[in-house]
A and B are shown apart, each in its own frame.
Chain A
Amino acid sequence: NAGVTQTPKFQVLKTGQSMTLQCAQDMNHEYMSWYRQDPGMGLRLIHYSVGAGITDQGEVPNGYNVSRSTTEDFPLRLLSAAPSQTSVYFCASSYSIGTGGPFGQYFGPGTRLTVT
């Protein structure tokens, strides 16, 4: 199992450009999420999905779009990049064991994005 993979590892964008951060998992997890990590802020949830075709907003969704057409993939789109979106982005996946609650999230290696 590759686990959770993210591409690219690093990216530099100019203000106003758009791009898609890719995330894929091969563990057949139902749930997938995107977080951003900023210095001194911990990780904050951007968007999440509880299954193919179902997405919802997290704490900091503005400026980002997601879609979930397959169980495996959960891309994050930056519509018009701004310097405030300079951050490290983590994708995560997880599943719940029946009604037993969350098993735990598996995180990808992260994408370091700089917007100039």
Chain B
Amino acid sequence: AQKVTQAQTEISVVEKEDVTLDCVYETRDTTYYLFWYKQPPSGELVFLIRRNSFDEQNEISGRYSWNFQKSTSSFNFTITASQVVDSAVYFCALSPQGGSEKLVFGKGTKLTVNP
């Protein structure tokens, strides 16, 4: 069975702080994909990143970075110098190879960035 755990239900930081959102996954597949989505207060789901299981390189996009470690089955997301606009619920998700029609989501982490 596939499972995604986001142990942090809510995080509150002050603007300009760095924050890391944790994601731990379980799967027996050797090939799989991991995703992060952002859901701002307006409610839409915004795709942030996709990473396949063969690519353990860290990725940086502006203030966002992702750390994928197969050894610990983790795919953590760090926001550097957080801003109020980063306030949202963030979801980590897992998909088997060829299974992009059936993502398994974590329960999400609500991030509040205070001015």
Contact = CB atoms under 8 A, between A and B. Distances in A.
A19 B23 CA distance: 36
Interface in A88-116: 88, 90, 92, 94-96, 99, 101-107, 109-110
A32 B103 CA distance: 11
A45 B45 contact: no
Given A33-B102, A45-B102, A105 B47 contact: yes
A109 to B, nearest CB: 6
A71 to B, nearest CB: 13
Contact of B44 (A41, A43, A102, A107): A107
Of B45, B104, B107, chain A has the most CB atoms within 10 Å of the CB of B45
Contact of B103 (A43, A49, A50, A110): A43
Contact of B95 (A35, A58, A102, A107): A102
B22 to A, nearest CB: 15
B101 A43 contact: no
A10 to B, nearest CB: 11
A43 B105 contact: yes
B28 to A, nearest CB: 16
A42 B108 contact: yes
B97 interface: yes
Nearest to B48: A104
What interface size band does chain B fall in?
A: 20 to 34
Residue among A40, A43, A49, A99 with the highest chain B CB neighbour number at 10 A: A43
Given A96-B100, A102-B33, A42 B45 contact: no
B115 interface: no
A101 B91 contact: no
Contacts of B99: 102
30 contacts: A31-B100, A31-B101, A33-B101, A33-B102, A33-B103, A35-B103, A41-B107, A42-B91, A43-B93, A43-B103, A45-B103, A48-B101, A49-B101, A50-B101, A58-B102, A88-B43, A90-B45, A94-B100, A101-B95, A101-B98, A101-B100, A102-B33, A102-B95, A104-B35, A104-B47, A104-B100, A105-B35, A107-B37, A107-B44, A109-B44
